[in-house]
Amino acid sequence: MSAYIGVDIGGTNIVCGLLDDQLNLLRKTKKPTGASNGADYVLRLIASMIDELLEREKLTRVDVAAVGMGNPGFVDPVRGVSLSSANLKWENVPVSDLLGGLLGGIPVFIDNDVRMYTYGEAARGAGRGYDHVMGVTLGTGIAAAMVGRGELYYGSGFLAGELGHVPLEGENALCGCGMRGCLETIASATGIARIARERLEQGEASVLQQWFPGDGRKDVTAADVSRAYDEGDALAVDVLRFVGRHLARGLAWAITLWSPDVVVIGGGAANAGERLLAPMREALMPLILPMYRGVAIKLAEMNDDAGVVGSAAFAKARAGA
Q: Contacting its own copies (CB under 8 A), which of 28, 165, 197, 199?
A: 165
Q: Least Å distance between CB 115 and its own copies?
A: 13
Q: Least Å distance between CB 59 and its own copies?
A: 39
Residues whose CB falls within 8 Å of the CB of residue 231, separated by 6 or more in sequence, listed in order: 207
Q: Least Å distance between CB 284 and its own copies?
A: 11
160 near its own copies (CB under 8 A): yes
Q: To 5 degrees, how large is the angle CA 268–CA 271–CA 272?
A: 120
Q: Least Å distance between CB 123 and its own copies?
A: 17
Give the pairing of strands 296-299 and 151-152. unpaired
CA terminus-to-terminus distance, the chain:
13
Q: Which is nearer to its own copies, 25 or 177 (CB)?
A: 177
Q: What are phi and psi of 153, to 5 degrees?
A: -95, 130
Q: What are phi and psi of 74, to 5 degrees?
A: -95, 135
Q: Contacting its own copies (CB under 8 A), which of 52, 57, 162, 238?
A: 162
For residue 221, the Cα-to-chain-centroid distance in whole angstroms is 18
Q: Which stretch binds its own copies (CB under 8 A): 30-38, 41-49, 171-179, 196-204?
A: 171-179
Q: Which is nearer to its own copies, 159 or 205 (CB)?
A: 159
Size of interface with its own copies, in residues (CB under 8 A): 44
Measure the CA–CA gap between 16 and 210, rounded to whole angstroms. Answer: 41
Q: For residue 158, what is the DSSP state?
A: G
Q: Which is nearer to its own copies, 78 or 234 (CB)?
A: 78
Q: Contacting its own copies (CB under 8 A), which of 22, 213, 289, 320?
A: 289
Q: For residue 131, what is the DSSP state?
A: S
258 near its own copies (CB under 8 A): yes
Q: Contacting its own copies (CB under 8 A), which of 105, 129, 257, 320?
A: 257
Beta strands in 10-106 (DSSP E): 13-19, 25-32, 64-71, 74-76, 81-85, 90-93
* Interface pattern 58-97 for its own copies (x via CB under 8 A): ----------------x-----------------------
- DSSP string computed for 87-128: TTTEEEE-HHHHHHHHTTS--EEEEEHHHHHHHHHHHHSTTT
Q: Which stretch binds its own copies (CB under 8 A): 50-58, 100-108, 252-260, 298-306?
A: 252-260
Q: Contacting its own copies (CB under 8 A), which of 260, 279, 307, 310?
A: 260
Helices 189-201 and 234-258 sit at what angle, rounded to 10 degrees? 140
Q: Which stretch binds its own copies (CB under 8 A): 61-69, 91-99, 152-160, 213-221?
A: 152-160
SS3 203: coil
Residues in contact with its own copies by CB under 8 A are 74, 131-132, 144, 148, 153-163, 165-170, 177-179, 249-250, 252-254, 256-261, 286-292, 295
